[in-house]
């Protein structure tokens, strides 16, 4: 199907984009990589009066470390993130997830900000950013707002972003001490959305866990942060028994549904195994840093 008619605006600056958005925010959609929005338009699940293409706005795809954070511009493509040297060296959870998202065509166009704003519970970035305690930066008519990712993700395809706001950046705290992390994804075939995904981040002080972050994909109505498992890990000494317990606690926090990708009980079992396995992998990385 063809999309419904819409006005197309491709501003050269964020200020201009915000001005166009402010005119009729409830009938306008921001276009980033288009990998989720364009299918929705073609299926007529979305029929905005105006599309604001932000791809010409300069500076929205930068990746840099400053002020204690890794700052990733909203327009950073999945592939750009997968091949970024800084991310490869210092942000193993992000580096592990990026090449597992979709297929090369989607990775060339799809953006980090678009993925988070889309808030698909089967999206991979939400879990990664939950494990890393990231913040989403948004600009609106009254200035900049910094939203912790756990508050940004509200429910299936729902965020706390206001209609007149544009995501500009995602901020990830710089890891301290010895750190490790990974993203484990079970998919039916290469390029598919996750049957289950688990993001893990660990910071160690000797053998003591200084910070533990977890994020779970496709096992609830949004990406989940299993706080009970994180709390059990925090401040404890690493051990296989502890990691097994964290896996059990994380699985308890899930609410998967049975569907074509598998029964709920199977998905819960995969979460338990992946959390345990991911923590062991992150610990081994941290020990070697
Ligand atoms: C075949 C296929 C397979 C896929 N597989 C996976 C997968 O395995 N894992 C995964 O995580 N994702 C997957 N995706 C989704 C993909 O990652 C998309 O890139 C992503 O969900 C949306 O990013 P986008 O930049 O394309 O956003 P768009 O499609 O342009 O926009 C998506 C939504 O976000 C809003 N938006 C975009 N940018 C902003 C902004 N800066 N501020 C405010 N709102 C904004 C739009 O208005 C729209 O509502 C897949 C997609 C396809 C087509």
pLDDT band of residue 58 (cuts 50, 70, 90) is: very high
Give burial (CB, 10 Å; 0-12/13-18/19+) of 15.
exposed
- Predicted confidence (pLDDT) per residue in 138-154, tens digit: 999 999 999 999 999 99
* Distance of alpha carbon 65 from alpha carbon 230, whole angstroms: 26
CA of 167 to the centre of ligand 1 (A): 13
Strands of 149-269 (E only): list them.
Answer: 153-155, 158-159, 166-173, 178-186, 196-205, 208-217
Beta strands across the sheet bearing 135-140: 63-66, 69-73, 166-173, 135-140, 143-148
Phi, psi of 198, rounded to the nearest 5 degrees:
-135, 125
* Distance of alpha carbon 278 from alpha carbon 286, whole angstroms: 12
Q: State the closest ligand 1 atom to the C-alpha of 126, by its place in the atom list counted from 1.
A: 11
| Residues contacting 239, CB < 8 A, separation 6+ | none
* Distance of alpha carbon 22 from alpha carbon 141, whole angstroms: 7
CA of 38 to the centre of ligand 1 (A): 9
* Distance of alpha carbon 281 from alpha carbon 28, whole angstroms: 44
Structure tokens at 1: 């199907």
CA of 39 to the centre of ligand 1 (A): 10
The whole-number pLDDT of residue 176 equals 86
The whole-number pLDDT of residue 23 equals 95
The whole-number pLDDT of residue 43 equals 95
- Predicted confidence (pLDDT) per residue in 180-194, tens digit: 999 999 999 999 999
Whether the pLDDT of residue 160 is over 90: the answer is: yes
Whether the pLDDT of residue 163 is over 90: the answer is: yes
CA of 69 to the centre of ligand 1 (A): 24
pLDDT band of residue 257 (cuts 50, 70, 90) is: very high
The whole-number pLDDT of residue 220 equals 98
* Secondary structure of 219-233 in HEC code, one letter for each residue: CCCCCECCHHHHHHH
Q: What is the mean pLDDT of the segment spanning 246-267?
A: 98
| Residues contacting 70, CB < 8 A, separation 6+ | 63, 64, 86, 87, 90, 91, 171, 172, 173, 174
Q: What counts of helices (H) and strands (E) characterise the chain?
A: 12, 13
Are 178 and 284 contacting, i.e. CB atoms less than 8 angstroms apart?
A: no
Give burial (CB, 10 Å; 0-12/13-18/19+) of 65.
middle
pLDDT band of residue 110 (cuts 50, 70, 90) is: very high
The whole-number pLDDT of residue 86 equals 98
- Predicted confidence (pLDDT) per residue in 24-57, tens digit: 999 999 999 999 999 999 999 999 999 999 999 9
* Distance of alpha carbon 230 from alpha carbon 217, whole angstroms: 16
Whether the pLDDT of residue 1 is over 90: the answer is: no
% residues pLDDT > 70 (the chain): 100
Q: What is the mean pLDDT of the segment spanning 172-183?
A: 95
Q: What is the mean pLDDT of the segment spanning 165-181?
A: 96
Q: State the closest ligand 1 atom to the C-alpha of 36, by its place in the atom list counted from 1.
A: 29
Give the strand pairing for 196-205 and 208-217.
antiparallel
Q: State the closest ligand 1 atom to the C-alpha of 46, by its place in the atom list counted from 1.
A: 49
Residues with CB under 6 A from ligand 1: 29-37, 54, 74, 101-102, 106, 110-111, 113-115, 117-118, 120, 123-125, 166-167, 193
The whole-number pLDDT of residue 144 equals 98
* Residue position matching structure tokens 């009254």: 142
Looking at the DSSP bridge assignments, the partners of residue 158 are 155
% residues pLDDT > 90 (the chain): 98
Q: Candidates 6, 25, 73, 102: which one to mutate for ligand 1, based on the most atoms within 8 Å of Cβ?
A: 102
pLDDT band of residue 16 (cuts 50, 70, 90) is: very high
- Nearest CA to 94 out of 119, 66, 126, 65 is that of 126
- Mean of all residue pLDDT scores within the chain: 97
Whether the pLDDT of residue 177 is over 90: the answer is: no
Q: What is the mean pLDDT of the segment spanning 143-168?
A: 98
Q: What is the mean pLDDT of the segment spanning 100-127?
A: 98
Whether the pLDDT of residue 165 is over 90: the answer is: yes
The whole-number pLDDT of residue 107 equals 98
């Amino acid at each position: 199907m063809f999309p419904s008619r819409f006005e197309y605006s491709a501003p050269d600056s964020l200020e201009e984009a915000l001005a166009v958005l402010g005119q009729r925010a409830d009938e306008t959609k921001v276009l980033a990589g288009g990998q989720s929005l364009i299918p929705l338009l073609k299926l007529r699940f979305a029929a905005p009066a105006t599309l604001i293409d932000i791809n010409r706005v300069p500076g929205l795809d930068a990746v840099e470390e400053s002020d204690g954070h890794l700052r990733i511009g909203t327009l950073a493509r999945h592939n750009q993130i997968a091949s970024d040297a800084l991310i490869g060296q210092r942000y193993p959870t992000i580096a592990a997830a990026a090449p597992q998202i979709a297929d090369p065509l989607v990775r060339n166009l799809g953006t980090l900000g678009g993925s988070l704003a889309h808030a698909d519970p089967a999206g991979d970035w939400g879990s990664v950013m939950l494990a890393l305690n990231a913040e989403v930066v948004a600009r609106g008519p009254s200035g900049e707002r910094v939203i912790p990712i756990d508050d940004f993700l509200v429910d299936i395809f729902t965020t706390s972003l206001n209609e007149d706001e544009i995501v500009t950046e995602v901020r990830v705290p710089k890891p301290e001490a010895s750190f490790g992390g990974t993203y484990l994804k079970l998919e039916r075939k290469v390029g598919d959305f996750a049957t289950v995904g688990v993001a893990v981040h660990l910071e160690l002080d000797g053998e003591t866990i200084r910070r533990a972050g977890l994020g779970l994909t496709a096992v609830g109505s949004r990406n989940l942060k299993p706080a009970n498992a994180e709390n059990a890990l925090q401040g404890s000494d690493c051990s296989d028994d502890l990691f097994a317990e964290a896996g059990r606690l994380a699985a308890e926090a899930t609410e998967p549904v049975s569907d074509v990708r598998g029964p709920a009980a199977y998905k819960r079992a995969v979460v338990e195994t992946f959390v345990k396995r991911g923590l062991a992998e992150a610990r081994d990385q941290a020990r070697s840093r």
